[in-house]
Amino acid sequence: MTDLLLAFGLVLVFEGLVFALAPLGIEDLLKLMATISPDRRRQIGLVAVALGVGLVALARQFGG
């Protein structure tokens, strides 16, 4: 449970930093995302999930 809270907290920190430091960049990114097909966005999301799972697995293996 501690790992889950830590992960959620880190997500909020990084998401908050993006919104705080580059609010106009977010608008541009959303406009770009609107031009990408839903199937392609789904593929991008699945790749991001796979990379995230891999990073968590590596951290658990090497971090103790």
By residue count, the chain amounts to 64
pTM over 0.75: no
pLDDT at 50 (0 to 100): 97
Q: For residues 4 and 50, what is the distance between their CA atoms, to the nearest angstrom?
A: 17
What are the 10-residue block averages of pLDDT along the chain, 64 residues in total? Answer: 88 94 93 96 97 90 82
pLDDT at 64 (0 to 100): 64
CA 44 to mean position of chain CA atoms:
11
Residue 18 has, within 13 A of its CA and on its CB side, a CA count of: 10
Nearest to 29 by CA among 11, 15, 39, 43: 15
